[in-house]
Structure 1
Amino acid sequence: MDDSIQQKIARYESFVNEGLRKDLQDALDARDAIYDQISEYLKLAKDIEVIKDNGLKEMKTQVDLGSNFYVQAKIPDTEYIYVNVGFGFHAQLTLDEALTFIPKKEAYLQKKAEKYTEKAAQIRAHIKIVLEAMAEIMKLNIEPPRRNLDL
């Protein structure tokens, strides 16, 4: 294989490994973070149902302060809760308002996750195309030149 072909293949490999695979990992990580948010909202909805079903007016719980460091907390009044509505804002909602908000937020996040899934599929397709192009270049370079034997 001549040097120019080897250089082209090396550039394609670099593009796949340093560009496309990193983009693919970023898209998958972003999608997984959204799935984690969806999971948190579903857990919140379940917790609200438990509060409502048991008629809890106050309760004790554990709160994660970060890095899996938990402290006990006493909630003196469960009539209102603060829900992360996005962009760093938290809204004070009644339990019923929160139960109305959560499915809407979940649907929004699900659409967002689907976009990242589509982006990941596109990146995978691009990777496949580049790898097939590399294989074709190597195949063309390895085959001996054909001679015209028409007499």
Structure 2
Amino acid sequence: MATSSSSKNDRDRAALLNKYEEFINLKLKPNLKAILDARDVIFDTISEYQKLKSQIELIQQNELDELKTMVDLGTQFYVQAHIPDTRYIYVNVGFGFHVQFTLDEAKKFIEKKEQQLQSTAEKYSQDADKIRAHIKMTLEAISEILQ
């Protein structure tokens, strides 16, 4: 009778371990990956805004009235472009909208946008930390079951 009780406990333990492993692999890890991917997109966007800001500052410091540059048409395919008037710039403000700004207005917008994106990235980092804590806690529960 003792062997049937221990085999039932072993089956219950194995089922519980399987349940925890499935929870980690099917729920927590995919959620963590999705959050980290979203955060990476935010970091890429911040980087693009920082590049734009440095280009604006370069134009202002050198007092350029016109500009010759290379423009990426996509997939690293560049063409030469001539900008006859550098007083205004079009900035993608989101949702497919581009707004015409003066260079100073664009810098102010970029600073506000960077702050907003940074706070979103911090939120994603906090969410990722919570998921990592859940994974660690679940792994500790698994190790306790095994002992």
1:107 equivalenced with 2:115 (yes/no): yes
Distance 2:23 2:15 in 1: 12
Distance 2:145 2:129 in 1: 24
Match of 1:94 in 2: 102
Cα distance per residue 1:13-63 (max 9 Å; x no partner): 121112111111111111111111111111111100111111111111111
Match of 1:124 in 2: 132
TM-score by length of 2: 0.89
Distance 2:30 2:75 in 1: 26
Shift of 1:4: 2.6
Match of 2:32 in 1: 24
Question: Per the alignment, in what secondary structure is the counterpart of residue 2 of structure 1?
Answer: helix
Distance 1:43 1:3 in 2: 58
Distance 1:54 1:79 in 2: 13
Match of 1:57 in 2: 65
- For these two proteins, the number of residue pairs brought into alignment is 139
Cα distance per residue 1:89-129 (max 9 Å; x no partner): 11000001101111111000000000000000000011011
Q: Superposition pairs for residues 2-81 of structure 1, below 5 Å?
A: 2-81=10-89
Which stretches of structure 1, 4 residues or more, deviate above 2 A after TM superposition?
Answer: none
Q: Percent identity?
A: 58
Shift of 1:87: 2.0
Q: Unmatched 5+ residue regions in structure 2?
A: 1-8
Distance 2:15 2:72 in 1: 52
Distance 2:81 2:33 in 1: 38
Cα distance per residue 1:72-91 (max 9 Å; x no partner): 21112111111111222110
Distance 1:109 1:133 in 2: 36
Letter in 2 for 1:112: T
Taking only aligned residues, the RMSD between alpha carbons, in angstroms, comes to 1.2
Q: Unmatched 5+ residue regions in structure 1?
A: 140-151
